[in-house]
Every structure is written in C-alpha cells, then in structure tokens.
Amino acid sequence: MLLAALISFGLGVLAIVSMFVIMLVSDLSPGIWLYLAAMLCPLGLLLGLVHALRSGRRAR
C-alpha cells in the first residue's frame, strides 16, 4: 500500500507542476485529464495515512 501511495502522490505532484508549466509556456488551458490526474495527490496522501495507521504499533 505504501508503494501505491508514493506512486499516486508523485504522479499527482507531477500533474500539478505540469499544469503550471503549461500555463506559463502557452496560452492554452491544461486539459481536463491533467486536472483529474492532479487528484491523485490527495489520494496518495490518504493512502499513505491509511498505511501509517494500519502498520503502526498497537497500544498495550
């Protein structure tokens, strides 16, 4: 689950950075697929949080 969280968070950050680059370089707006790919960032954060809570130590 940690690998899936890291990959999805990384792809989301990459999509956000590429949106800014596209806006700076051209006059066109980024495609809807790029906005949807940016939603992978919070999904990766959520998966990482779930992984941390599930793999943490239990209280005695």
13-56 pLDDT per residue, tens: 999 999 999 999 998 888 899 999 999 999 999 999 999 999 88
Judge whether residue 1 has pLDDT over 90.
no
Give the DSSP letter of residue 39.
Answer: T
Whether the predicted model's global pTM rises above the 0.95 cut: no
In a 13 Å sphere around the CA of 59, the CA atoms on its Cβ side amount to 1
Judge whether residue 10 has pLDDT over 90.
yes
